[in-house]
Amino acid sequence: MLDFIYYPVSGILWVWHKVFGAVLGADSGFAWALSVVFLVFTLRLLLYKPFVKQVRTTRQMQELQPQIKALQKKYGKDRQKLALEMQKLQKEHGFNPIMGCLPVLAQAPVFIGLFHVLRSFNRTGTGLGQLGLSPEVNANTPNYFFSVDDVQSFLSARLFGAPISAAITSPDSVLIAFEPFGGIPSVWPIVAVSVPLMIIASVATHLNSRASVARQSEAAAANPQAAIMNKLALYVFPLGVLVGGPFLPVAILLYWVSNNVWTYGQQHLVFGRIDKEEAAAKEAALERRNENAPKPGARPELTKKKPAPGAKPVRPAVSSDGDSTAASTSSSSSSGNGGATTPKKKKTPPGKVRPKNQRRR
């Protein structure tokens, strides 16, 4: 049903085994272990750009938190209106919440595919998803991209005496399948290899979570839901690796360790680059502001006020003898009269008699 996942995963693992098997030997446990590690590196390299998008999306979400809280406060009772306004805000800022989950969603089927392919090298178990094959039939059954010779090579491989498809809790019915290919392995070599990998994987998970939490803003860290998720990531998930480690094959523990090592290095690389980009953007904005600011000692230019639209322009009054009356003169005369303005008398043209009611008494 999930062959579209199993075949690509087994194909990449097959390629890397051919590469390392040509150098270290096809039956070498280190060749198979390195094949698993570089399978993880290949898939994480393909997911590098989505990871960068995830980081940028997370930071953008932190920047939009004040606006999101304002929308929640304003439209808290109207769910439909809140959803529309949230979509509008995300569209305006080019924010895509799916990009924040894409790397995690893409790694989940890879983990499932690798777990299934590795377990399919030994199908003698009778548990959930096992076929209960006999050791002879199992050794002569291909495994997706791997031929019968590859299956037998995998069963012969040992990493410090431990088959990489065996777990600490593997029953005897599973371990007996290795008898024709180097004998039935003891549980102690499996413990000696698995326990250090479990501890490294747990510590690496905690360090990656701590690095992510340290980069959160104060507002995001103060969110109750974020605080719960931070505690889960810091303590519960690393503890889960220790508790679940005995049930996982050695190869899956190798996958977990290499995946966390890649994540740790990739986080520091990506976050360092984004921090430099943001610092350069802030410096450029500061330089532009300094360029637009007036120089020290320079007089600011006075701009004349433009008349309002439709308003008549103000013209200086002109007297009959051709002398214009300045606004300063009128203001000084008005201030001399105690603030009251006296109307000017019109001069009578020569030869014109005043009306009786306008003659001086």
What's the pLDDT tens digit per position in 105-146?
Answer: 777 888 888 888 888 888 887 766 667 788 888 889 999 999
Query: Residue 317 has what pLDDT?
Result: 52
Residue closest to 44 by CA, chosen among 113, 110, 116: 110
Residues ≥6 apart with Cβ < 8 Å to 216: 62, 226, 230
Query: Residue 314 has what pLDDT?
Result: 58
Query: Residue 310 has what pLDDT?
Result: 67
Query: Residue 320 has what pLDDT?
Result: 47
Residues ≥6 apart with Cβ < 8 Å to 322: none
Query: Residue 331 has what pLDDT?
Result: 43
Query: Residue 88 has what pLDDT?
Result: 80
Please tell me what DSSP assigns to residue 143. Answer: B
Alpha-carbon span 252 to 37, nearest angstrom = 10
Concatenating the DSSP letter of every residue in 204-217 gives HHHHHHHHHHHTS-
Q: Is 9 helix (H, G, I), strand (E, B) or coil?
A: helix
- Residue 327 Cα to chain centre, angstroms: 67
Residue closest to 119 by CA, chosen among 45, 9, 21: 9
The alpha carbon dihedral of 117, 120, 122, 127 has a sign of positive
Residues ≥6 apart with Cβ < 8 Å to 182: 155, 156, 158
Query: Residue 324 has what pLDDT?
Result: 44
Instruction: Give residue-wise pLDDT tens across range 334-344.
Output: 444 444 445 55
Q: Is 162 helix (H, G, I), strand (E, B) or coil?
A: strand
Q: Is 270 helix (H, G, I), strand (E, B) or coil?
A: helix
The number of C-alpha atoms within 13 Å of 300 and in the hemisphere containing its C-beta is 6
Alpha-carbon span 114 to 260, nearest angstrom = 16
Distance set, CA 164 to CA 122, 197, 334, 336 (Å): 11, 12, 105, 108
Q: At what angle do helices 48-63 and 102-119 cross, to 10 degrees?
A: 140
Q: In which residue ranges of the chain is pLDDT below 70?
A: 1, 62, 93-104, 127-130, 216-223, 293-361
pTM above 0.85, yes or no: no
Residue 101: φ, ψ to 5°:
-105, -10
Contact 185, 164 (CB under 8 A): no
Residues ≥6 apart with Cβ < 8 Å to 255: 36, 37, 39, 40, 111, 114
Distance set, CA 306 to CA 301, 309, 310, 312 (Å): 15, 9, 11, 11
Contact 282, 292 (CB under 8 A): no
The first and second tokens of residue 214, run together, are: 């340290």
Query: Residue 221 has what pLDDT?
Result: 63
Alpha-carbon span 347 to 51, nearest angstrom = 90
